[in-house]
Chain A
């Protein structure tokens, strides 16, 4: 019944993995959470970007890395907004840039967002 509280608890940024870093989804560990800051494809080919957007990877969405494979910890199973779980390989996941869950955490590190914006 108290689903909202539970959800918040699960996305506690103080938990390991949610250290307030900005990193590509492809480098995230199992159990870590975050909020999508940007989805960008390689220049020229925007199909990866479109594919990711169509599967729910969109700026602002909450993600949680639930599982990874055995060899090379690849692929990843990522839960989006607590509703849909998507499997994707780390190389494609790198097109998704993930920041900390709470906007406040981003605000305290303005350099981070700036760095991402310029890249």
Chain B
């Protein structure tokens, strides 16, 4: 985080803000101008990313360039747009009023984009207009007189081609000229008296844009055809939905199959690291902490990184291509039935791989209530960490028979678990929007941008950013939790001549025993109760924990195999079904809660999430257990 309180006497670095409507190529321009020298942080109190980078102008000024969230107007409609407004107006805490603003516009869409510039000009601050995507405009036969536009507006205007470094030289030159002048400019009075434009004022801006275009546009370009033609298929009410389903299928296929090799590799290297350490370290508590606590914990998190990266690769590519808004368009009616926005679709979908990227992807939802609802229901989507538990229990208790039309009973149960999660999520969303998160249904007013080929640099930088967030913020929390859980499962050590496995005598065992009376009504025995304690960290840990409780040893494969047999003999069908129902809802993943804490900026909503999911899990397990008992599943 940059602070503006520099020591006295030091020359403050000039700060220039990039402002522009969404889809004007602003981020590409920012990446070209700053290269790799950029950093991302959060604005205090909100989860809006603050992207800044450094650049040197030809004359030698060092400039801090701020990439402000895309906005159609200074009248902010979302937390992101509010940041843009506040920074431009100098109202953002811990952020200096920018020395100059560069307003980026799409030259092919000046009629819609110039209004924001007029709003900015109203503020009376140093301003440059960058006509971006000039190459595309020219290709379509569009001719704009930059001189006329500059003269009419009374500000410098430059044509830029964001993708090419030499397309931005003019812009850097203009920044230099402006910076050598700005030392004298004082904070204009209009900034303090700024008010949201009234509908009449917006109409006046429209008329002014019309007049400007008549003065400056020599030749209008041909309308874009490609997007229109592609949309005939991609937005077709039936074909469009089928294509969306196909893309989703491909995406999930990729998440699960492409990620397999790197996940195996991570798994393997963690195992060999543990093996190497167990041979080279003397037996001690430290050894157990390193091997069973830290490496096992870190490995359990890192192993999901390939899936998360592949998922985000798809999301970033589709976003850059312009398809995400289309997916939201196609799903809007369905999502609006439970009070959500079409934009919630992708975050929820991502949650099928892992709720953490899903919760992170909820940032694309502008409205705070919609975003919060989406975050709260994301853990109900069946994430891949539930699979090991589902597979274990289903193969132990559900006979592998064919029921109807060649569909296996086991697959049917699995499908039922997924469906229960989805129905649960939609129901919870509907209830939340009618009770706790009541508010006006947000209008869907969303631009469907022109399709364009994804920019590899943008995608790569975005991907690195996601990986960094995941590893640092989530990784540190899960690691510390794993160490705590290791402590709980290790101390106190078993007494001499102990007959039960060590975990039985530990704090985890005590907690499990303490919880058992509470869990007895839903059919959980003390072994399950104990396994649920370390299983709080991550769902799949419960499988290993059950192995420990039943004192099974060997590598993962043999433990799971032996466990299947042990459970099939030791548990009733009702207990197994109750545990499955429990796992559909239970918040057995502290990393998800940590992600929710980061994205909502308080512990209040993660706490609420934990409590409501626990209550749902208990109820679901209770009903399942009782019904199964009544039907003779005891």
What per-residue 1/0 map shows which CB atoms of B106-132 lie under 8 Å from chain A? 001101100100000000000000000
Q: Contact check, B332 vs A77: say whether CB atoms are below 8 A apart.
A: no
Chain B residues positioned under 8 Å from A59 (CB to CB): 203
Partner among A6, A49, A86 whose Cβ is within 8 Å of the Cβ of B446: A86
Chain B residues positioned under 8 Å from A1 (CB to CB): 141, 222
Partner among A58, A75, A86 whose Cβ is within 8 Å of the Cβ of B203: A58
How far does the alpha carbon of A71 sit from the alpha carbon of B446 in the complex, in Å? Answer: 18
Answer whether residue B243 sits at the interface, using C-beta atoms and an 8 A cutoff: no
Answer whether residue B220 sits at the interface, using C-beta atoms and an 8 A cutoff: yes
Answer whether residue A7 sits at the interface, using C-beta atoms and an 8 A cutoff: yes
Partner among A50, A79, A86 whose Cβ is within 8 Å of the Cβ of B75: A50
A24-69 contacts to B (CB < 8 Å): 39, 41, 46, 48-56, 58-59, 66-69
B317-339 contacts to A (CB < 8 Å): 325, 328-330, 332-334, 336
Partner among A67, A71, A79, A80 whose Cβ is within 8 Å of the Cβ of B334: A71
Residue of A nearest to B108 (CB): A83
29 residue pairs bridging A and B, Cβ less than 8 Å apart: A3-B221, A50-B197, A50-B198, A54-B115, A58-B203, A59-B203, A67-B231, A67-B236, A67-B237, A67-B329, A69-B237, A70-B241, A72-B333, A75-B444, A77-B231, A79-B228, A80-B112, A83-B224, A85-B227, A85-B231, A85-B447, A87-B444, A87-B446, A87-B447, A87-B448, A88-B444, A89-B336, A89-B444, A92-B443
Answer whether residue B73 sits at the interface, using C-beta atoms and an 8 A cutoff: yes
B193-252 contacts to A (CB < 8 Å): 197-199, 202-203, 206, 220-224, 227-228, 231, 235-238, 240-241
Answer whether residue A81 sits at the interface, using C-beta atoms and an 8 A cutoff: yes
Chain B residues positioned under 8 Å from A81 (CB to CB): 111
Residue of B nearest to A80 (CB): B112
What per-residue 1/0 map shows which CB atoms of A64-106 lie under 8 Å from chain B? 0011111111110101111111111100100000000000000
Additional 17 contacts, C-beta under 8 A, given A46-B198, A83-B108 = A3-B220, A41-B199, A50-B197, A52-B445, A53-B199, A54-B72, A55-B72, A55-B112, A58-B206, A59-B203, A66-B228, A66-B231, A70-B240, A70-B333, A75-B332, A75-B333, A92-B443
Q: Contact check, A55 vs B223: say whether CB atoms are below 8 A apart.
A: no
Q: How far is the CB of B413 from chain A (nearest CB, A)?
A: 30
- Size of the A side of the interface (Cβ < 8 Å), in residues, is 42
What number of residue pairs across chains A and B have CB atoms under 8 A from each other? 122
Residues of B within 8 A of A (CB): 72-73, 75, 77, 108-109, 111-112, 115, 141, 197-199, 202-203, 206, 220-224, 227-228, 231, 235-238, 240-241, 325, 328-330, 332-334, 336, 342, 443-448
Q: How far is the CB of B229 from chain A (nearest CB, A)?
A: 11
What per-residue 1/0 map shows which CB atoms of A1-18 lie under 8 Å from chain B? 101101100000000000
Q: Contact check, B448 vs A74: say whether CB atoms are below 8 A apart.
A: no
How far does the alpha carbon of A70 sit from the alpha carbon of B447 in the complex, in Å? Answer: 19
Residue of A68, A69, A86 most packed against chain B (CB within 10 A): A69
Partner among B72, B202, B206, B333 whose Cβ is within 8 Å of the Cβ of A69: B333
Chain B residues positioned under 8 Å from A87 (CB to CB): 325, 328-329, 332, 342, 444-448
Q: How far is the CB of A60 from chain B (nearest CB, A)?
A: 8
How far does the alpha carbon of A53 sit from the alpha carbon of B231 in the complex, in Å? Answer: 24
How far does the alpha carbon of A70 sit from the alpha carbon of B238 in the complex, in Å? Answer: 7
Q: Contact check, A7 vs B444: say whether CB atoms are below 8 A apart.
A: no
Residue of B nearest to A71 (CB): B333
How far does the alpha carbon of A59 sit from the alpha carbon of B330 in the complex, in Å? Answer: 28
How far does the alpha carbon of A3 sit from the alpha carbon of B224 in the complex, in Å? Answer: 10
Q: Contact check, A56 vs B332: say whether CB atoms are below 8 A apart.
A: no
Q: Contact check, B141 vs A3: say whether CB atoms are below 8 A apart.
A: yes
Residue of B nearest to A81 (CB): B111
How far does the alpha carbon of A83 sit from the alpha carbon of B202 in the complex, in Å? Answer: 19
How far does the alpha carbon of A1 sit from the alpha carbon of B219 in the complex, in Å? Answer: 11
Q: Contact check, B333 vs A88: say whether CB atoms are below 8 A apart.
A: no
Chain B residues positioned under 8 Å from A41 (CB to CB): 199
Q: Contact check, B202 vs A84: say whether CB atoms are below 8 A apart.
A: no
How far does the alpha carbon of A4 sit from the alpha carbon of B221 in the complex, in Å? Answer: 9
Partner among B237, B342, B445 whose Cβ is within 8 Å of the Cβ of A70: B237
Residue of A39, A54, A59, A80 most packed against chain B (CB within 10 A): A54
Partner among A51, A69, A83, A84 whose Cβ is within 8 Å of the Cβ of B329: A69
Q: Contact check, A54 vs B220: say whether CB atoms are below 8 A apart.
A: no
Q: How far is the CB of A2 from chain B (nearest CB, A)?
A: 9
Q: Contact check, A83 vs B206: say whether CB atoms are below 8 A apart.
A: no
Given contacts A1-B141, A87-B329, contact A48 B443 (CB under 8 A): yes
How far does the alpha carbon of A15 sit from the alpha carbon of B304 in the complex, in Å? Answer: 55
Residue of B112, B141, B328 most packed against chain A (CB within 10 A): B112
Q: Contact check, A84 vs B447: say whether CB atoms are below 8 A apart.
A: yes
Partner among B115, B227, B333 whose Cβ is within 8 Å of the Cβ of A74: B333
How far does the alpha carbon of A34 sit from the alpha carbon of B141 in the complex, in Å? Answer: 26
Partner among B235, B333, B447 whose Cβ is within 8 Å of the Cβ of A66: B235
Residue of B nearest to A78 (CB): B448
Chain A residues positioned under 8 Å from B220 (CB to CB): 3-4
Residue of A46, A56, A75, A92 most packed against chain B (CB within 10 A): A75
Residue of B nearest to A50 (CB): B199
Residue of A nearest to B223 (CB): A82
Q: Contact check, A77 vs B108: say whether CB atoms are below 8 A apart.
A: no
Residue of A nearest to B449 (CB): A85
Q: Contact check, A75 vs B329: say whether CB atoms are below 8 A apart.
A: yes
Chain A residues positioned under 8 Å from B328 (CB to CB): 87
Q: Contact check, A54 vs B75: say whether CB atoms are below 8 A apart.
A: yes
How far does the alpha carbon of A92 sit from the alpha carbon of B332 in the complex, in Å? Answer: 14
Q: How far is the CB of A24 from chain B (nearest CB, A)?
A: 15
Residue of A nearest to B444 (CB): A89
Q: How far is the CB of A38 from chain B (nearest CB, A)?
A: 11
Given contacts A51-B77, A58-B206, contact A83 B112 (CB under 8 A): yes
Partner among A3, A48, A54, A85 whose Cβ is within 8 Å of the Cβ of B202: A54
